[in-house]
Amino acid sequence: MFNILLLEPIHAAGMRVLQEAGHVRLAADTDEATILREVGDIDGLVIRSRGRITRAVLAAAPRLKVVGRHGVGVDNVDVAAATEYGIQVVNTPQAVVEAVAEHTIGLMLAASKKIVTFHEHLRQGDFHVRYCVTGRELRGRTLGIIGMGNIGRRVAQICRLAFDMPILYSDVRRAADVEEALGARPTSLDELLAASDYVTVHVPLLPETRHLIGAREFSLMRRDAFFFNLARGEVVDEQALYEALRDGRIAGAGIDVFEQEPTPADSPLLKLDNIVFTPHAATTTEESLRDMSLVALDVVRVLRGEPPVYPVNRLCV
């Protein structure tokens, strides 16, 4: 039987898979010192958003064969070090697509329709706010998608087919299938920012995407444009976003991810009324949590000497 360590609890569907394959235990905490104490006899490890699998952790786990990322982004796993140690990293790239895409549309609608503003005023008994605040429709507005991966494609599909939105996109790779099916047009990041009514970010956190969007990029956007980040907080310079919103250089924003999580209670973003935010919760649906937990299937495949379906790194064999 294999020893498998979870850094956080997972959905029962994935838990059953792991329990059938070995002894499963939950880490006492997700700080590095605790993980270092607990990985010495571990064969497989599953990490969610809390904690980091560092080179030091990998070095302290001589039996470790596989790290399963419950989700898509692997910025909290030292993949290069794992590869050096011959440790397979796997993730669930398809599990979150629908949840994040729908959440993106939800934030777009909430920001455009002033739903949170109406909600808060009505809670205070102000029904007449309907005469003072005006929203707008998505229909026919230009959508700019930064990162045309699985999530970006689904957002494009929904917005094009449901709201008749022209699609611009910026990506290091062409998405010919999306161009053909939806009429999406590839463009430079600067042109996308200048031409779009709505800009949404769906790129992984990499050295080259850290602070991809900053003061210069916000200065290129239209004053009536909305900005959305459902990728990673560090992709956006949060201070620059705050200043753009505070000064009215963009109309509004919808944010699910932050540079520091949990978000500090004194974050200036929380004091603005032209932003809608959620606490890194886009993937928190019953379906997505179940499907992400099934990274367990690849964890067990690797432990049994079988090739994984969703490898993140390639190992020399």
246 in active site: no
Q: What single DSSP character describes residue 308?
A: P
Question: 245 with 227: CB under 8 angstroms?
Answer: no
Cis ω before 262 (30° cut-off from 0): yes
Q: Which of 112, 56, 53 is closest to 78 using CA atoms?
A: 53
Place of tokens 């010919």: 176
Catalytically annotated residue among 232, 238, 259, 301 = 232
Q: Is 181 exposed, middle or buried (0-12, 13-18, 19+ CB in 10 A)?
A: middle
User: Which residue is catalytic, options 261, 287, 304, 306?
Assistant: 261
Q: Is 216 a catalytic residue?
A: no
The encoded tokens of residue 92 equal 């669930």
> With 0-12 CB in 10 A as exposed, 13-18 as middle and 19+ as buried, what is 56?
middle
Any idea how long the chain is?
Answer: 317
Active site residue 191: no
With contact defined as beta carbons under 8 Å apart, do 161 and 187 qualify? Answer: no
Catalytic residues: 232, 261, 280
